[in-house]
Structure 1
Amino acid sequence: MRIDRLALLALEVVADAVARAALGEVERTWGHRLALEYLVKIGAAERWQAAAFWEELAWECHPRDYEHGAVYMQTTRLTSALNAWSYNLGREPPDPVEMAHRVRRLALAEGTQQNPCMCNRYRPGERATIREFFGAKLFREVNDGPAIVHPKDPGWVVRLVDGEPVLDQMTWGFPVTLRGKRGQPLKPKPVNNARFDKLGGYWKHWAQSPANRCIIPAAAYAEAVGETGHMTTTWLSVKGEPLFAWAGLWRESDEWGACYTGVMTDNAPALADIHDRSPVIIDRADWSAWLTAPLGQLARFDRPYPADRIAVQHTQIPWKYSGAETTNNN
């Protein structure tokens, strides 16, 4: 199919809309409508596809929604449409890395200094320390797993079995299976964060069941800080404690077996320069409540953890090195 300047412009407008959707709500414009109409006119898009894209843009969300699966799937559906229309015009779709850079540039231009996707690595601590700290017995014998856990890596969780805390190992992230441009199933993607204020909605199926709640043992979690292309790793932990309890959900999946996701809430204002969200950290006296109480009684955990109890360790380790302190950074 022959592509002209207007077609290229239409694809660029659509790509911009996709990037803005990754940051939050999109204000639909006549430019979006004209771009979609032109793609339909030249045969790159079906009318129903353009209509679905237009409606998808109207979905109400917020930048902090990014860590829950609904927004992940929304932006993926928009991206799939953009990729299909690019292929139909004989062009390669936008490179995912470049799209990520585009999102980041928009975030910076609009005054959002944080990386839209947060908390995707943490240190679980040593197995023996975890067992002692939580008083948990080992559920089954497995390897220790990585020292720094990333989405789709194995990590430790503490959950109740017959009323007793056990230490189990699962995959970090609930799998979301998407489809390619020809309808073929793609490899599942891990959704590793869940917004607390969505526990009664998107995550309710698991959050309302105490049996599907868990605690994620963590020694520290990481955030990316700095300008795009020069972001460094900052580690956050609880002062005076070898570990802390991060509220989590878990379930069995066909794709990866047992898997878990971490629950997020607002960050303390004093730490907002690092990120406006943080893990839900539960003090020792409240571990049992998180694991056993009805969902309606958990609202008290949806609050910023006190900044004066958080230790912040800024490093010069580039974020792209996955937090590995032994990496040669030269």
Structure 2
Amino acid sequence: MRIMPASLDRLTRLALEEIAEAVAEAQTAIVFPSWGLRLSLAWLASRHGLQDWQVRQFLNVISRPIFDPHNAHVEWRTRAAQAHQFLELCHGILGLPPAFAPDLWARERRWHEEMLDPDTGRPHPWLMCNRYKPGERENIRQLFGARMWREFNDGPAIVHPKDPGWVIRQRDGELVLDQMTWGFPVVLTGKRGQPLKPKPVNNARFDKLGGFWKRWTGPENRCLIPAVSYAEAVGKSGEMTSTWLSLRSAPMFAWAGLWRDSDEWGPVYTGVMTDNAPELAGIHDRSPVILAPADWEPWLQAPLNELARFDRPWPADDVTIDATRNLWKSGE
């Protein structure tokens, strides 16, 4: 971004910087407007003629959910373009040069390169399966024969990214039931290279375990995620509803996961995803890696090069589908 003239009053400079940070964050995240951003917009509206409808439109652009996970990259790109248009509008109102140089998209790539899939150049697919039901704590403990690692509150009945969730991991040769935050924190950088608020990456593609995720794939970083069902968004963009999937053969199952300690949120975990069964591809092209009880120990202990056999979907004829009318964007 180009340097603003020193003649611009201090409050207007601060307001424009706050807006620019929100625009940068909107490239790869849903932005929940802070009081600082709202004050900045109010300042430009009261002192420089920004229209109320323009403010409302901008806030809607940066805070709206992704309605179609199957085409999420298109929605992210549209969000980015609309957010940049608003910043250019602010520059025009203030009589400033354009906010961005012609190499805009190249700069954006550098801003959020940590979030991008190295093969596709798109954000890592945490928009897959981003809510699930873990089940009751005592049922989890008994099913896995695990002891409580420490005392925790029960946590939510439906786990969303950045919520606390139950995890089974190994500790000194035994299984323990632990509670962690769902999603590895990935830190974005703003227009001046400053760190932005971390975002939770709650899914890890199996075919990336030997690349992007390799540093966290050792046995010491593997875990089991107890679940009774998981949800996907299905339907037309803007009208997507929640479809819940569970197993006919078991009231609770183990989802293959990875965990690590983080500076931002303490212990965190993410679920491993694989290609979906062809019969279920209409719901989503990927699904959680579900492990049979006989595979719990190998997932936790085997070398990485022996885990390829788990890169397969659970048989579709054992999956129960509950297509609800609940709007996905409601969060259940």
Q: Deviation string for 1:112-165 (max 9, x for gaps)? A: xxxxx2100000000011011111111000101000000000000000001101
- Taking the aligned partners of 2:143 and 2:109, their CA distance within structure 1 comes to 51
- Taking the aligned partners of 1:141 and 1:293, their CA distance within structure 2 comes to 29
CA contact (8 A) 1:23 1:62 kept: no
- Taking the aligned partners of 1:59 and 1:206, their CA distance within structure 2 comes to 17
Secondary structure of residue in 2 paired with 1:261:
strand
Distance 1:218 1:62, change over 3 A: farther
- Taking the aligned partners of 2:276 and 2:162, their CA distance within structure 1 comes to 25
Secondary structure of residue in 1 paired with 2:296:
helix
Say whether residues 1:61 and 2:71 are aligned partners.
no
Match of 2:162 in 1: 152
1:108-119 to 2 correspondences below 5 Å: 117-119=127-129
Say whether residues 1:168 and 2:212 are aligned partners.
no
* Counterpart AA for 1:252: D
CA contact (8 A) 1:22 1:66 kept: no
Distance 1:239 1:144, change over 3 A: same
* Counterpart AA for 2:154: D
- TM-score, length-scaled by structure 1: 0.67
- How many positions carry a matched residue from both structures? 242
Match of 1:191 in 2: 201
Match of 2:48 in 1: none
Deviation at 1:21, TM superposition (A): 8.9
Match of 1:266 in 2: 275
Deviation at 1:304, TM superposition (A): 1.6
Deviation at 1:45, TM superposition (A): 3.4
Match of 1:45 in 2: 100
* Counterpart AA for 1:213: R
Secondary structure of residue in 2 paired with 1:228:
coil
CA contact (8 A) 1:247 1:280 kept: yes
- TM-score, length-scaled by structure 2: 0.67
Match of 1:303 in 2: 312
Match of 2:216 in 1: 206
CA contact (8 A) 1:23 1:66 kept: no
* Counterpart AA for 1:294: P
Match of 2:191 in 1: 181
Deviation at 1:59, TM superposition (A): 6.3
CA contact (8 A) 1:155 1:171 kept: yes
Deviation at 1:184, TM superposition (A): 3.0
Distance 1:59 1:238, change over 3 A: closer
* Counterpart AA for 1:226: G
Distance 1:59 1:137, change over 3 A: closer
Say whether residues 1:22 and 2:73 are aligned partners.
yes
Distance 1:188 1:291, change over 3 A: same
CA contact (8 A) 2:216 2:260 kept: yes
Deviation at 1:62, TM superposition (A): 7.6
Match of 1:286 in 2: 295
CA RMSD of aligned residues (A): 2.9
Distance 1:319 1:142, change over 3 A: same
Gaps of 5+ in 1: 2-16, 27-41, 69-116, 324-330
Say whether residues 1:223 and 2:232 are aligned partners.
yes
- Taking the aligned partners of 1:283 and 1:242, their CA distance within structure 2 comes to 13
Q: Deviation string for 1:189-224 (max 9, x for gaps)? A: 0000000000000000011x1010000000100011
